[in-house]
Chains A and B, each alone.
Chain A
Amino acid sequence: MKLSFSPEDERFREEVAQWLNDNLTGEFEKVRFRGGPGDEHMFQEERHAWEKKLAEGGWTCIGWPTEFGGRASSIEQQVIFNEEYARAGGPGRVGHIGEGLAGPTIIAFGSQEQKEKYLPGIVNGTELWCQGYSEPGAGSDLANVKTKARFDEEKGKWVINGQKVWTSLAHESDFCFVIARTDPDSVAHKGLGFFLVKMDQPGVEVRPIEQITGTSEFNEVFFDDAECDANDIVGEPGDGWKVAMGLLGFERGVSTLGQQMQFQNELNEVVRIAKENGAAQDPVIRQRIAQSHAELKIMRYNSMRMLSGQSGSDGSLQKEALIYKLFWATWHRSLGELAMDVMGPESQILDPGQYELNRLQSMYLFTRSDTIYGGTNQIQRNIIAERGLGMPKEPKITAKT
């Protein structure tokens, strides 16, 4: 064990800090600290321009192997990058689904051709991705997807029909990774395929869904004879579940580092307001702030420990990774409640405008969803108990087809 960074790493830190300091200025000044959880709808264009700027500096996908355009940065350096990024107020990354989920999945499971076709757009910040998993009948029971993919021999293409829902940022995305049934007679997690689908085509329709925040970060996506090329399926028909689950491993891995730093910024904001409005005098509030800080550190240390023990590059993590989603989601939800209690009576007053939530109000509302997306708290507990601890599974009821 060695809980410090090497001189080389510290030099890397200086380099990152310097670059951010030089570049997060001018036209990008206004996106500092923006676009985080609950704020994704803000400054989309400017943040996309920023993503390309980052790419020019070689600061996207830094953990990826160099052959795919990354820097092959060590875990330590990725940690440092994320720390400095948050400290500088780097905006929410529009490319995070591509960099954190689609890219690593393609690297782990994709063909050479797919790598060449899709990774450069992610690395250079031009192409954005969304995740087409959930459907009206397939939420927690993800394996119940009904969207179908049929191979059309004549066209030499996959033809996709069905509906996805809650698809975050679909309206901004160039591509969607879609789980669809390749074997129409299959049920549950057998007979699925994992497809890379272009959004800008006649067979894809995106309809925004209004959220309780009054904004629309997620969408319904309808596939009506949408097409993708014969080789836009990752793995073989029938491998879809394996690929989809591998991807969820990435969701709990390195991509959590940046998120924690955003959490730190939010907690700092809560503390600042508590000092300013006097809430910090309230002993109950003081204790909750201390608790929150302590738990954020727990998360931080735990994910360092989890990542330094990370096994393969196939997204599979140690067992301890299973607990991570439950912990951070629940922590963040409590932070939202703490923020509102710190704001006190002010917390119910909006900024001037058309239902303009202020930053902490959006955060409070958004954190209601943290314990839902990416596997609800209940499902996470089932996974911890059944897969982590080996407790008996609930009796299986076969999903209706």
Chain B
Amino acid sequence: MDFTFTEDQLLFAESIKDFLQNEVTPESIRESWDSETGRSQDLWNKMVELGLTGMLVPEAQGGLGMREIDFVLIAQECGRVALPEPIVDTAMVVTPLLKDLVDKDPRCVSLLEKVATGETKVAIGHAANDLVSDAHIADYLLLTQGHQIHLLAKADVDLEAQQSVDPSRKLFAVKWEANDETLLINGSDGVGLLAATLNRAAVGTAAQLLGLSEKMVEMTVQYTQDREQFGKPIGTNQALKHHMANCAVKNEFAKAVLHRAAYTVTEKPVHGDFAVSHAKLAAGEAANLAAKNSIQCYGAMGYTWECDLHIFMKRAWALDKFWGHSGFHKYRLHQWLMNPNAKIGAEMTFGEQA
């Protein structure tokens, strides 16, 4: 048993972390709120150069041929800076699905190549969400209908923008018509791919939630050292220490669950439901607590638009409800646990999850 990441995985994540911290700041995010698309092509190009869009693309299609477990730490870093660009969706949701479709439809081969080189962007819809994020900057959309997955050029769909509580999120209601041309896959194959897609997306979202949560705690710990009341830093008060300690415990414990889920979707994707839902719940809880306690520790300052905290808090709010909200994931957990064949024996720590 080894519950750690390899040196390579850690180093790569660290270098992406440095990159993101330099490129994506609260100031740049606020600027993006005023820009037309809310997205930076320049930043996207840099991320392409770093290989991020192609990380999970097979080498045959010009990618790095890595796997979900290799990406999870990077998804955390994307959350930590509240990255507006849809790199997690692209790398962890879109490209693995296209990869699974390579044998079924040749269009997926060229799409994979072009996503890896940055020439093309693909957005993805799923029954778990009513809306599609980042459809406005996509060239193609992967859309679902029942058990079917379809591929449409953006020109062939109608987009209606919907605003999110998080000004960085760009969400769209998509109107479109399916036909034989657009169909990529159908039937039980489709069911399997849609389930796997939801699981990868939920892990990617959980990772971002955890990154956001850690960031909020970091900011707040700093603030409690800088702000003085009663002639001393407010952080000297035990009440605030305990608030932050509670968050740290949640974050740390969500981490193991998240990494376990990333491992499972990589190694045994068909058995991923339980681990994934567990991770989404744990990360969502951690982020919600961090948001609540951080505002509390900031006092009135945390309630202002000017204070950067709300950038992270609102992203956490939005992501907590995307790719399955807590009710959905709790339901999956107890459905699984109450199953008469549930493998929950003492020997099942890492055992197969039925």
Q: A-side interface residues toward B, CB under 8 Å? A: 134, 137, 139-141, 144, 165-166, 209-212, 214, 218, 279, 282, 284-285, 333, 337, 340-341, 344-350, 352, 355-357, 361, 368-369, 371-373, 376-378, 381-382, 397-400
B42 within 8 A of A: no
| Nearest CB in chain A to that of B230: its residue | A141
Stretch at the interface among B136-144, B197-205, B319-327: B319-327
Asked if A210 contacts B300 (CB within 8 A), the reply is no
Query: Which of A344, A356, A378, A400 counts the most chain B CB atoms within 10 A?
Result: A378
B8 within 8 A of A: no
Asked if A140 contacts B303 (CB within 8 A), the reply is no
Q: B-side interface residues toward A, CB under 8 Å? A: 129-131, 162-167, 169, 171, 228-232, 234, 237, 239-240, 288, 292, 295-296, 299-300, 302-306, 310, 313-314, 317-318, 321-322, 325-327, 330-331
For the complex formed, measure the closest distance between the CB of B180 and the CB atoms of chain A, giving whole angstroms.
31
List the 9 closest pairs (A to B, CB-CB), nearest first: A210-B305, A350-B163, A378-B239, A397-B231, A141-B229, A212-B310, A348-B318, A141-B230, A166-B300
Asked if B229 contacts A140 (CB within 8 A), the reply is yes
**With contact pairs A211-B303, A212-B304 given, residues A355 and B167 touching in the complex (Cβ less than 8 Å):** yes
Q: Chain A contact residues: over half helix, strand or loop, or mixed?
A: mixed
**With contact pairs A139-B229, A347-B321, A369-B300 given, residues A211 and B305 touching in the complex (Cβ less than 8 Å):** yes
Which single member of B164, B230, B305, B314 contacts A349 (CB below 8 Å)?
Answer: B164
Q: Give Cα distance in the complex from A368 to B314, angstroms.
A: 12
Query: Which of B302, B305, B326, B331 counts the most chain A CB atoms within 10 A?
Result: B305
| Nearest CB in chain B to that of A282: its residue | B327
For the complex formed, measure the closest distance between the CB of A281 and the CB atoms of chain B, giving whole angstroms.
10
Asked if A341 contacts B325 (CB within 8 A), the reply is yes
Q: Give Cα distance in the complex from A234 to B146, angstroms.
A: 71
Query: Which of B171, B232, B288, B296 counts the most chain A CB atoms within 10 A?
Result: B296
Asked if B325 contacts A214 (CB within 8 A), the reply is no
Which single member of A210, A218, A398 contacts B306 (CB below 8 Å)?
Answer: A210
Q: Give Cα distance in the complex from A165 to B169, angstroms.
A: 31
For the complex formed, measure the closest distance between the CB of B266 and the CB atoms of chain A, giving whole angstroms.
27
Q: Give Cα distance in the complex from A381 to B238, angstroms.
A: 12
Which single member of A285, A344, A345, A369 contacts B303 (CB below 8 Å)?
Answer: A369
Residues of B with C-beta under 8 A to A333: 292
For the complex formed, measure the closest distance between the CB of A141 and the CB atoms of chain B, giving whole angstroms.
4
For the complex formed, measure the closest distance between the CB of A391 and the CB atoms of chain B, giving whole angstroms.
13
Which single member of A372, A373, A378 contacts B240 (CB below 8 Å)?
Answer: A378
| Nearest CB in chain B to that of A354: its residue | B163
A165-B300, A349-B163 given; name 12 further pairs at CB < 8 Å: A137-B228, A144-B229, A209-B306, A212-B313, A337-B288, A341-B326, A346-B130, A348-B166, A349-B165, A357-B165, A373-B300, A397-B232
